[in-house]
Amino acid sequence: MNETLFYLILIVGVLVVMLSIAALLIWYERRMLALWQDRYGPNRVGPFGLVQVLADMVKIFFKEDWIAPFSDKWVFIIAPTFVVIAVLMGFAVVPFAPGLVVADLNIGLLFFLAMSSLGAYSIFLGGLSSNNKYSLIGALRGAAQVISYEVFMGLSLMGVVIMSESFSLVKIVEAQKTIWFVIPQFIGFVIFVIAGFAESHRAPFDLPEAESELIAGFHSEYSGMKFGMFFVGEYLGITLISAMIATLFFGGWLGPSFLPPVVWFFLKTGVFITFFVLVRAALPRPRYDQLMALGWKVLLPLSLLNVLVTGALKLYFAG
Amino acid sequence: MTILFYIAALIAIVASIMVVTRTNIIHALLYMVISLLATAVMFFLIGAPFIAAMEIIIYAGAIMVLFVFVVMMLNLGKQAVEQEKRWLSTEGWYFPSLLSLILLLEIGYLIVSGQTAPFNGRQIPPAEVGKELYSTYLIGVELAAILLMAGIIGAYHLARRKKYVVHRFLKTEGAEQ
């Protein structure tokens, strides 16, 4: 097949699949939370309540799209797009199966980190342009949280990079043929998961939007599809982080051959998405200073130690 | 590739001009981010993908976020916009424009006289950058490390909590009550 055509189809395919997963996750999360809290959740529209997603979409598209008159209008309008664009760009380097990757860059991992840090602009710009004190506090928290946890996120992955000797995600997956990195890099894995929660500002680390104290934090003023973009961006973020956990620590597409590689990849990703939902159902939100203290006093030294030990062992065994 | 490079360069120049001329600081910061992204694309196109990624992660992702953070803390309102407008008066432009013009002429002269370093379209992988940094440029890395260490110690000193003394006769200057 023509190579350009193949990549075009692949890009459109990734876009469609990821956006439908994000939409489906809205239903999935509500159902799962309900299950763990001994309720039914949305089960009226269609089989298992699946068409609820469609009903929600119709509702959100027809809501009044209100732009706060006291806001910084243009920044207010473009702010929600940042997170969606950045996260969708991040999927470009994720290898779904052998040969099934949009761009196998030799800086793939760094590209992912760059995109996840750009996605955070939605929070600051949305919160700042809203001209609302709750939004501003949410944006402030978001900025501090994201910039702190980015540091550990990057550092926790350096162990993986040292072991696989490459930033390319395809090479990282191939290096896990003998053993998944979750075993030798367990500390890195734990730090990456915690940082992933903070980076996608999901519960329990959803302090930028803490509804009990800040109403909805940085997106208090947003309504209609603009709010929907933040929402979709959050679910896309969960999917991307889960896909990265599967790729970096659980062997990506690798698995016993009775299932095709791409199925293994999505199965692993699905497990981590479910884990994200379960954590939301299980854990309370920490106080803001506790979050920052955990980051700088526990995770930073731990991730530095992890890099040091991994590097030393690698050098020792390399001879 | 060349046409992509020139498009990115044009975006970088336009965005940089917008950074200087905006009176609303948030808009200026946004243009700054665009300018940095365009620069990253340029680095990527001339075969330095590692530097391109670092440009986005460190400059656009971290330093600019810190700028936004400070702006949020300062709570700038209409006053700041007015002040910026006054500073952007015509007299303020003369000297910086002159300096920039000299630089522009220098670059023009260099390009015309063909004294620029030749560009070979070789891609430099990240591993090579790392090896160079820790061998040829080791002294630079060490100096940067010392500078950052001094910065960290300074920040620690500034943010350190003052000693809390219980006895009223032994109260230190600025102690918390």
Query: CB-based contact (8 Å) between A110 and chain B?
Result: yes
Q: Where are the domains of chain B?
A: 2-122, 137-177
Cα A272 to Cα A48: distance, rounded to the nearest angstrom: 22
Nearest to A107 among B61, B62, B126 (CB): B126
Encode pLDDT of B5-61 as tens digits.
Answer: 888 889 999 999 888 888 778 888 889 989 999 999 988 888 888 888 888 888 888
Measured between beta carbons, which residues in chain A are less than 8 angstroms from residue B50? Answer: 107, 110
Q: What is the pLDDT of residue A23?
A: 84
Q: Which residue has the higher pLDDT, A194 or A43?
A: A194
CA B27 to chain centre: 16
Query: CB-based contact (8 Å) between A152 and chain B?
Result: no
Q: Is residue A150 predicted with pLDDT exceeding 80?
A: yes
Report residue A26's pLDDT band, with 50, 70 and 90 as the boundaries. Answer: confident
- In this structure, the dihedral spanned by the alpha carbons of residues B19, B21, B27 and B29, taken in order and rounded to 10 degrees, is 30
Smallest CA–CA distance from A118 into chain B, residue: B61
Kindly give, in sequence order, each residue whose CB lies less than 8 Å from that of residue A11, ignoring residues fewer than 6 positions away.
Answer: A92, A102
Encode pLDDT of B91-104 as tens digits.
Answer: 777 888 899 899 98
CA B76 to chain centre: 21
Q: What is the pLDDT of residue B123?
A: 79
Distance from CA of B142 to the nearest CA of A (A): 17
Q: Could B26 and A129 be called an inter-chain contact, meaning their C-beta atoms sit closer than 8 Å? A: yes
Q: What is the pLDDT of residue B38?
A: 92
Q: Where are the domains of chain A?
A: 68-318
Mean pLDDT of chain A: 85
Which of 2.40.50.140, 1.20.120.1200, 1.10.10.10, 1.10.1740.10 would CATH assign to domain B2-122? 1.20.120.1200
Distance from CA of B72 to the nearest CA of A (A): 7
Quote the pTM value.
0.85
Q: What is the pLDDT of residue B177?
A: 45
b/e for A2-35, b at 16 or more Cβ within 10 A?
eeeeeeeebeeebeeebbebbbebbbbbbbbebe
Measured between beta carbons, which residues in chain B are less than 8 angstroms from residue A154? Answer: 57
Q: Could A110 and B54 be called an inter-chain contact, meaning their C-beta atoms sit closer than 8 Å? A: yes
Q: What is the pLDDT of residue A1?
A: 64
Q: Is residue A282 predicted with pLDDT exceeding 60?
A: yes
Using alpha carbons, select from A170, A191, A190 the residue that is nearest to residue A252: A170
Our separate counts of H helices and E strands in chain B read 8, 0
Q: Could A117 and B61 be called an inter-chain contact, meaning their C-beta atoms sit closer than 8 Å? A: yes
- Which ipTM did the prediction report? 0.80
A55: amino acid identity, one letter: A
Encode pLDDT of A105-129 as tens digits.
Answer: 888 888 898 888 888 888 888 888 8
